[in-house]
Amino acid sequence: MSRAGERLFITQPAVSAHIKALEQDLGVRLFDRVGRRSVVNPAGRVLYEKAQRLLTVAEDLKAAMSEL
């Protein structure tokens, strides 16, 4: 979570809060906590794959709109 915060220019507690809110919204845990580490679980992997697809579609949409 600390490295994610560094990459996003937000604090680690903010990252954790966003993850917690997303987990509550989806009704599933996305990470398994192992000591101080967080490990992506199967639900987290599914979310990641679907999010990647959505971002690709969004980029395609922007490109299509700019071509008009």
Torsion, CA 9, CA 60, CA 22, CA 19, rounded to 10: -30
Alpha carbons 55 and 57: distance in angstroms, whole number: 5
Within 8 A by CB and 6+ apart from 44, the residues are: 29, 30, 31
pLDDT by residue for the chain (68 residues), tens digit each? 889 999 999 999 999 999 999 999 999 999 998 898 899 999 999 999 999 999 999 999 999 999 99
Kindly report the pTM of this predicted structure: 0.80
Domains and CATH numbers, the chain: 2-66 (1.10.10.10)
Q: Cβ(48)–Cβ(40) under 8 Å? A: yes
